[in-house]
Amino acid sequence: MEVASDQSRNAVGEGRHVETSLPTEWMGLVFTRNAQSADDEKLREALALSIDRESMNSVLLQGGGEPAGSLLPDWMTGYAFLFPVGADLARARQLRTEAHQAPSWTLGYDTGDPLARIIGERIALNARDAGLTLQPTNSATVDVQLVRLQLASLDPRLALTTLAALLGMPKPKLDDDTVENLYSAESALLQSEQIIPLMHLRIAVVTSPRVKGWRQDQNGDWPLQDVWLDREKP
Amino acid sequence: MSFRHRLLLVFGLTVFLCVGGVAWILSAVTRRAFERGNEDQTAALIAQFRREFSRRGEEITLRVENIARSGPATRMALAASRGSTDYAAYVNEAKTLADSQQLDSLEFVDDRGTILSSALWPAKYGYKDASLPAGLSSKDAVLRQEELPEGRVLELSAIRQVDVTDKPLYVIGGRRLDKEFLGSLELPAGMRTMLYRNLSKTFSPQLLINPSGIVQQPNVLAPLIERVQQQQQEATMLLHWSNNAADDESMHAIPLTGQDSGLLGILLVGNTRRPYIELRNRIRSAALLAGSIGIVLAVLFSGWAASRVTRPVEQLAEAARQVAEGNWNTRVVVHSADELGALAQSFNRMTEELLQQRARLVQTERVAAWRELARRLAHELKNPLFPLQLTVENLVRARQQRPDQFDEVFRESSSTLLAEITNLKTIISRFSEFSRMPQPQFQQIEINEIMHNVTRLLQVQLCLPERAPIECKLEFAEDLAPIAGDPELLHRAFSNLVLNAIDAMPLGGKLLLCTHQHGDRVMVEVADNGIGMTAEEHERLFTPYYTSKAHGTGLGLAIVQSVVSDHGGRISVHSEPGRGTRFIVELPRNWDKLESDKLQSASHTSSVNTLGASSQGATIVPESTPADR
């Protein structure tokens, strides 16, 4: 039975057997408009630097994800660690100070998703520490949208292309099959200052103690042929 | 405006004012009673709110205490005291415990004020709770503002600490003061409550809620809320929600303060004025109906009463008017024994007394006139009688002493006797003529023609050689309207005036005869610049048999006045001694008399002819001297 990533810890606490997947879901912030000015870009960068992804993952997600500074997870590309994920509140405040004006942004999220709500509220709190105003709202028209997207494929190129399309961004330039080219394409997307990656989320599955062999391999596949059911203990 | 109308107006106004006054008093008493009831209801509701507030506070305090004594709180306190708080372990703890104790908010805060877990804002872990220091001093539930992602809210909260180690853990729990809280208050009919959450320095309509949510027309309440914000005292205001007064609402505002006496909210208790307005309208309608009926009845009754009161007064006024016109026999019927009856009796006594006094005066004047007549007769008759006596005595003496000359004396004496006897006859005929003054026979006449006839006849008098020259000037208006009158009598009257004027100028002078039209009346003036009259002569001018002339009868001007009066006219005199006299005769048109006279003429032709013949035979009575006036 699939459970929310933030509930996996509770399930473990309750003595259940929880099997988690590799991070296959991308969570991030998407600005609904392109940056209008240099100040706008600074403010967007300040917002990205103000977010404490580690705390968000450990507390709110109960370790059910990985802090992300990229679109594709590290297990898929191997270079994701090159994109910074740590918060730098001092730098964020500096950038905020450098910007002449700081508009009050509205943050939209999926109101049917409790995790999105709590993550959005935390982001708002972190942004306030940097001097930014981010007001969570369920309004249809927002400045920033908190987005959760399942990676469409285990193929990084296809996943990136699909993800960019879902985020409304230009199609990445993937000229060849090299990792460098993939890195360049993803970097170009991130440098547009239109998206702020937050987390890569895992899928948690609670299984009966009798279920054996239910785990994901390194490629993200689920080899069901290895799954077997143990005899019920008296 | 007549006395009756004034009475009617006074009666009507009195009734109207009475009905209006009663209606006003009723309305005022009703309003006062309603306001008192309104105040009582408001006070009861406020007391209920405070009881509910207190009850909820106690309930919240109890629930927070239960949480503080619970195992999770103890474990959290122990973990917090070790200084290595695993926020992930407690992030959902506050929510779980709050739900179990039916609290809206719950926070666990360590001794440094750091939030370990928050039910309403789970993402706020690790942040400081700014309200903690203020809440520590109160054991009871207090009103406080709680910050949430969507903004601040007002809640009633209590704080308890878990002292399992030397580092306490604070448990802060509460319930929102929101529309559910307002909905839990039991309100009497016609009352409602609203809550303004004072979370902004200026009035914000979004902060105003009622049990159903958003308040319609919130800006109507803005002045009241702003007043409470400024004064931080209870205030009451009458709110007009629409043009219909029945929609008015008396709104009582109660400031809700926090532990630091800051204004955190305003409870608004509204009491509709619809029952009062409807009752007032019913009273006004009833008063209007009663007033209308009352005024109609008042008009009818006051009309009847006023007629009863004013009828005797009107009769008295009419009687007084008739008395003023000369009808002294007028009497007023006495209907009552009150003041008006006494007034009527006094009026009757007055007219009776006037009649008696007039009779006495007439009698006195008659006696005086007779005495004057006797004096004049004696004087007039004595003058011819004395020569008669002397002549007869002379005849007797001549017969005795000179018989030879008796024939001659007899002839002389006979002529003297005849002359004096003729004189006596003349005197007697004048008196006889005045006693037989005829009634005027009206016919259409031209005054100028009569005046021309008078001047022609008087040319003889003016041309006497022994008389000093008199210049006669005639100014007759050509546009004189014809009038109805007796030409013979008027001729005689104007001749008398002219003769008197001539007599008043023994040394000569100027005589002015003038006619002119004045409205529908004809004016005739006879003026001289002769010797004039004294004040005494002027006063007795028209008294019959009064004369100051040596040989006058005192009848000339009396005849003039009688003729003018019979024609419905007036005669006036202006005179100054030494400067002359001016008579002004004013004659009306008298067309009505002409018509009635024609009718009389048709039936009494013979008698008119007789009177006319008599008039033609009459002579003008000249006044020989001016002093005769």
User: In the numeric block, which tokens belong to residue A92?
Assistant: 């964020």
Determine what percent of chain B is predicted with pLDDT higher than 90. 14
Alpha-carbon torsion, ordered B353, B356, B358, B363, to 10 deg: -160
Among A140-149, B368-377, B498-507, top mean pLDDT goes to: A140-149
Q: Say which residue, B497 or B536, is predicted with more confidence.
A: B497
A–B interface: beta-carbon pairs under 8 A: 35
Residue whose tokens read 């008659």: B366
Asked if residue B617 has pLDDT above 80, the reply is no
Kindly list the distances between the CA atom of residue B302 and the CA atoms of B5, B13, B14, B310, B335, in Å, as whole numbers in the listed order.
10, 11, 11, 11, 20
| C-alpha–C-alpha distance, residues B401 and A50, integer Å | 186
pLDDT-derived band at B135 (thresholds 50, 70, 90) equals low
- pLDDT tens-place string over residues B27-69: 788 778 877 877 787 787 778 777 877 888 899 999 999 999 9
- The answer to whether the CB atoms of A136 and B124 lie below 8 A apart is no
Average pLDDT value over all residues in chain A: 87
Of A164-173, B129-138, B331-340, B430-439, the poorest mean pLDDT is in: B129-138
DSSP string for B526-586: EEE-SS---HHHHHTTT-TT---SSS--S-HHHHHHHHHHHTT-EEEEEEETTTEEEEEEE
Of A10, A58, A118, the CB nearest to B123: A118
Q: Do B87 and A59 touch (CB under 8 A)?
A: yes
SS3 A54: helix
Its sign, for the CA torsion B360, B366, B369, B375, is negative
Is the predicted pLDDT of residue A24 greater than 90, yes or no? Answer: no
Q: Does A136 touch chain B (CB under 8 A)?
A: yes
Q: What does the angle CA B589 – CA B593 – CA B598 come to, to the nearest 5 degrees?
A: 125
CA-CA distance, B428 to B459, in Å (whole number)? 28
By Cβ distance, the residue of A10, A60, A124 closest to B149 is A124
Distance CA B266, CA B229 (A): 9
Mind listing the pLDDT tens digit for each residue in A156-207? 999 999 999 999 898 998 888 888 999 999 999 998 889 999 999 988 778 7
Instruction: State mean pLDDT over B287-301.
Output: 80
Q: Name the nearest CA neighbour of B560 among B501, B478, B511.
A: B501
Looking at the complex, report in whole angstroms how far the Cα of residue B130 sits from the nearest Cα belonging to chain A.
14
pLDDT (mean) for B434-453: 86
For residues B376 and B387, what is the distance between their CA atoms, to the nearest angstrom? 18
Mean pLDDT of A125-135: 92
**In this predicted model, what pLDDT tens digit does every residue of B236-260 receive, in sequence order?**
888 888 888 888 888 889 898 887 7
pLDDT-above-70 percentage for chain B: 91
A142, part of any domain: yes
Cβ–Cβ below 8 Å for B127 and A136: no
Residue A226 lies in a domain: no
Instruction: Determine whether the interchain pair A58/B121 forms a contact, defined as Cβ–Cβ distance below 8 Å.
Output: no
Instruction: Answer whether residue A130 is part of any domain.
Output: yes
- Inside any domain, residue A35: yes
Mean pLDDT across chain B, nearest whole number?
Answer: 82
Q: CB A55 to CB B87 under 8 A?
A: yes
Predicted pLDDT of residue B513:
93
Q: What's the pTM value of the predicted model, to 2 decimals?
A: 0.56
pLDDT at residue B277 in the model? 82
Structure tokens at B472: 């006669």
Position A219 confidence tier, pLDDT thresholds 50, 70, 90: low
- Mean pLDDT (whole number) for A214-223: 71
Q: How many domains does chain A have?
A: 1
pLDDT of residue B544: 66
Interface test with B, best of A122, A123, A133, A134 (most B CBs within 10 A): A122
Give the domain CATH number at A45.
3.10.105.10
The residue-averaged pLDDT of B314-326 equals 84
Give the mean model confidence (pLDDT) for residues A66-82.
Answer: 91
- Could A60 and B121 be called an inter-chain contact, meaning their C-beta atoms sit closer than 8 Å? no
The pLDDT, as a whole number, for residue B551 is: 62
In a domain, residue A131? The reply is yes
Task: Give yes or no for B190 touching A (CB within 8 A).
Answer: no
**CB proximity A125 to B under 8 Å:** yes
Q: Is A70 part of any domain?
A: yes
CA distances from B524 to A138, B451, B487, B500, B532 (A): 116, 9, 14, 15, 19
Q: Which of A53, A54, A59 to mutate to test the interface with B (most CBs of B within 10 A)?
A: A59
Residue pair A113/A148 in contact (Cβ under 8 Å)? The answer is yes
Contact with chain A for residue B148, Cβ under 8 A: no
Residue in B88, B123, B150 nearest the CB of A122: B123
Q: CB within 8 A of A231, min separation 6: which ones? A: A210
Q: How far is A58 from chain B (nearest CA, A)?
A: 6
Query: What's the pLDDT score for residue A6?
Result: 66
Query: Could you count the other beta carbons within 10 Å of the beta carbon of residue B590?
Result: 22
Mean local confidence (pLDDT), B301-328? 81
Task: Convert the pLDDT of each residue in B87-123 to its tens digit.
Answer: 888 888 899 999 999 899 999 998 888 999 999 888 9
Closest residue of chain B to A7, computed from CA coordinates: B92
DSSP of B284-343: HHHHHHHHHHHHHHHHHHHHHHHHHHHHHHHHHHHHHHHHHTT-TT-------SSHHHHH
Is pLDDT at B298 greater than 80 in this prediction? no
A113 touches chain B (CB under 8 A): no
Residue B394 has pLDDT above 80, yes or no: yes
CB A66 within 8 A of CB A73: yes
Cβ neighbour number for residue A168 with a 10 Å cutoff: 10
Among A52-66, A185-199, B356-370, B610-624, whose mean pLDDT is lowest?
B610-624
Average pLDDT rounded to a whole number, residues B330-348 = 83
Q: What is the pLDDT of residues B263-282, one digit of tens each?
A: 888 988 888 888 878 887 88
Is position A9 within any domain?
Answer: no
A207 and B CB contact within 8 Å: no
Domain containing A141: what range?
Answer: 22-152+193-202
Tell me if A225 is assigned to some domain: no
* DSSP secondary structure, B499-533, as one string: HHHHHT-TT-EEEEEEEEEETTEEEEEEEE-SS--
Is B149 an interface residue toward A (CB < 8 Å)? yes
Q: What is the mean pLDDT of residues A97-105?
A: 86
